[in-house]
């Protein structure tokens, strides 16, 4: 029992390190392709794309956005002269994506993310994001599109814009504790995609990597944006509450492939374009045939349910019939988002409070993990029942 938390942390740190190595290998490959020569790969050094962000440091600061110390012009690595590895230091960790970096809004200390967009590559992303920021849409609680807090034009680079957005976390982190938490997550995602479709926008890439969560209330102390299991200052592991204790809001992000259509266009047609999920059935043999992108959105979200819940968790089998319909090979046989929402509401209503409060079990957990997580889950469960905390935790608007 006492060793289980330590083992879990060690495994989590190992998984983070493996993921970082994978990103490093991919980054090295891209730099080789772009610059024709392999750069020195010392741990912790600035990458080519990080240098670009460093060049924007003072301009962004003048705009009210402060990058981490790693990107300051006067930065000196904190590990120099010390007997420690760069990865053990806050400033030794590289932003994982070349076009996204974290920062702090200086006016109120809000942690944010900055995303650089090339207008020539993704000409509709800013337009669609700003459309959902219009007052009558932004105030709608069914709107789960990531908000654009600001849009900046990069000096001397006319093709580039920087989107200022809240700092979000992968929607699967930290792990789901109860079935009710999963139900609320999916309710919000279904609601959000229906909201987009009702406003005649097809996301066209709503797979798992483009689903995020506002997790700031889950963490009593800020998490590190690159290594979220660590405190922001890297002084130790960060603690978090459950989604039942602090219900989060989920967001659909990345409108680079999204398109908005006229309300009178009942069957818009677009040539297939592959997003992060390459498994779309209708794209496999019909890459040159224009298709309605809305049923493809249904597939993406249905496949996310399979990949993130049905294949990896136990006790969520009630989702399978709906997910199976959402991922049918024939896009014309898939339900609309309106039908998905209605069916999911009926499914949720049939779940007992006991089922909703039951623990979500990972298929990868061993005996010790199950003993540890099971014990802590039951302690919380008893408190929630006594205090009559809702089994489906919804965030306040």
Quick one: what percent of the chain has pLDDT higher than 90? 78
Say whether pLDDT at 3 is over 50: no
Q: How many CB atoms lie within 10 A of CB 60?
A: 22
What tens digit of pLDDT does each residue of 328-357 get? Answer: 999 999 999 999 999 999 999 999 999 999
pLDDT averaged over the chain?
90
Highest mean pLDDT range out of 58-67, 96-105, 387-396? 58-67
Q: Span 221-248, mean pLDDT?
A: 95
* pLDDT, greater one: 45 or 242: 242
**Residues 104-123 as b or e (16 or more Cβ within 10 Å = b):** bbeeeeebbbbbbbeeeebe
Q: Span 220-244, mean pLDDT?
A: 94
Say whether pLDDT at 154 is over 60: yes
**Cβ–Cβ under 8 Å, residues 250 and 212:** yes
3-state secondary structure of 79: coil
Give the model's pLDDT for residue 360: 95
Give the model's pLDDT for residue 27: 55
Question: How would residue 55 be classed by pLDDT, with cut points 50, 70 and 90?
Answer: very high
CA dihedral sign of residues 182, 184, 186, 192: negative
Element counts in the chain: helices (H) and strands (E) = 12, 12
First to last CA, the chain: 39
Give the model's pLDDT for residue 286: 82
Give the model's pLDDT for residue 2: 39
Say whether pLDDT at 284 is over 70: yes
Give the model's pLDDT for residue 356: 97
Q: Span 191-196, mean pLDDT?
A: 98
Give the model's pLDDT for residue 84: 87
Question: How would residue 34 be classed by pLDDT, with cut points 50, 70 and 90?
Answer: very low
What tens digit of pLDDT does each residue of 168-186 get? Answer: 999 999 999 999 999 999 9
Question: How would residue 19 be classed by pLDDT, with cut points 50, 70 and 90?
Answer: low
Give the model's pLDDT for residue 5: 44
Question: How would residue 35 be classed by pLDDT, with cut points 50, 70 and 90?
Answer: very low
C-alpha span between 88 and 236 (Å, rounded): 10
Q: Span 309-319, mean pLDDT?
A: 96
Say whether pLDDT at 39 is over 60: no
Burial of 197 (0-12, 13-18, 19+ CB in 10 A): middle
Give the model's pLDDT for residue 287: 82
Give the model's pLDDT for residue 137: 97
Cβ neighbours of residue 115 closer than 8 Å, sequence gap 6 or more? 99, 100, 162, 163, 165
CA 368 to chain centre: 29
Q: Which of 61-75, 117-131, 272-286, 305-319 has the lowest mean pLDDT?
A: 272-286
Give the model's pLDDT for residue 16: 58
């Amino acid at each position: 029992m006492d060793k289980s938390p330590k083992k879990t942390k060690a495994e989590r740190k190992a998984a983070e390190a493996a993921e970082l190595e994978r990103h490093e290998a991919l980054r090295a490959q891209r730099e080789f392709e772009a610059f024709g020569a392999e750069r020195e790969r010392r741990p912790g050094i600035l990458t080519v794309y990080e240098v670009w962000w460093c060049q924007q440091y003072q301009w962004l600061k003048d705009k009210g956005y402060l990058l981490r110390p790693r990107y300051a012009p006067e930065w000196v690595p904190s590990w120099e002269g010390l007997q420690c590895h760069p990865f053990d230091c806050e400033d030794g960790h590289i932003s994982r994506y070349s076009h996204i970096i974290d920062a702090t809004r200086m006016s109120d200390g809000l942690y944010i993310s900055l995303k650089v967009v090339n207008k020539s590559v993704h000409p509709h992303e800013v337009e669609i994001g700003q459309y959902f920021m219009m007052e009558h849409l932004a105030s709608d609680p069914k709107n789960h599109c990531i908000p654009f807090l600001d849009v900046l034009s990069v000096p001397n680079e006319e093709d580039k814009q920087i989107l200022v957005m809240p700092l979000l976390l992968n929607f699967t982190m930290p792990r789901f504790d109860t079935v009710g938490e999963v139900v609320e997550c999916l309710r919000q995602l279904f609601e959000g995609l229906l909201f987009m479709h009702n406003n005649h926008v097809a996301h066209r890439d709503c797979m798992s990597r483009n689903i995020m969560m506002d997790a700031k209330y889950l963490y009593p102390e800020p998490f590190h944006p690159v290594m979220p299991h660590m405190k922001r200052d890297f002084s130790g592991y960060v603690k978090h509450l459950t989604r039942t204790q602090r219900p989060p809001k989920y967001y659909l992000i990345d409108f680079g492939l999204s398109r908005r259509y006229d309300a009178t266009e009942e069957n818009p047609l677009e040539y297939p374009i592959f997003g992060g999920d390459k498994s779309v059935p209708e794209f496999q043999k019909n890459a040159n045939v224009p298709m309605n992108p809305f049923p493809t959105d249904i597939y993406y979200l249905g496949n996310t349910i399979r990949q993130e819940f049905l294949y990896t968790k136990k006790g969520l089998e009630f989702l399978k019939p709906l997910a199976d319909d959402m991922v049918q090979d024939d896009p014309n046989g898939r339900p609309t988002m309106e039908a998905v929402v209605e069916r999911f509401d009926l499914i949720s209503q049939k779940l007992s409070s006991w089922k909703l409060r039951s623990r979500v079990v990972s298929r990868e957990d061993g005996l010790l993990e199950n003993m540890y997580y099971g014990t802590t889950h039951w302690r919380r469960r008893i408190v929630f029942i006594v205090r009559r905390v809702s089994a489906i935790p919804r965030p306040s608007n």
